[in-house]
Amino acid sequence: MVKIGSISACIAGDHRYTERLEVFCDGNTCEVRYQDTGAVGGMDGPGGAYSNPWKVLTVVSADAKSIANAVRNACNENHVIREYGKPSKYFYWGTYACGIIHGISIAKVEKTLQKYFGSV
């Protein structure tokens, strides 16, 4: 599977509290995966952060409408991404090698699938 899109967000610059949402696709199915991190320790201690394992939120067919809806639903369910990530603006598709497309729309997902897998 290839990562075709992602977004991450942290609470007001505190990278100990981060949520990540990524979309992986093999041309037939796509997985929407989620991970979050949080702070460890208090203000007076050494501090640090923990990372939860990645969770597969949903598996959908590799069509633009299904993928866009799955990403929208996942963003709406996750507080930090919704609050600080501005998914409709900052979700990005593609890679720097083949160009980044920002936002969540069926047309943008179709363009990304075209880049990675040819005709959709």
Convert the pLDDT of each residue in 35-74 to its tens digit: 998 888 766 556 678 889 999 999 999 999 999 999 999 9
- Contact (CB, 8 A) for 19 and 36: yes
Tokens in use for 8?
A: 């991450």
Tokens read off for 48: 């640090």
Task: Provide long-range contacts, Cβ within 8 A and 24+ apart, for 73-76.
Answer: 74/21, 74/32, 74/34, 75/7, 75/21, 75/104
> What is the sign of the dihedral through the CA atoms of 89, 13, 32 and 94?
positive
- Tens-place pLDDT, residues 63-111: 999 999 999 999 888 878 888 888 888 889 986 655 678 889 999 999 9
What gap in Å lies between CA 9 and CA 74, rounded to an integer?
A: 13
Residue 116 pLDDT more than 80? yes
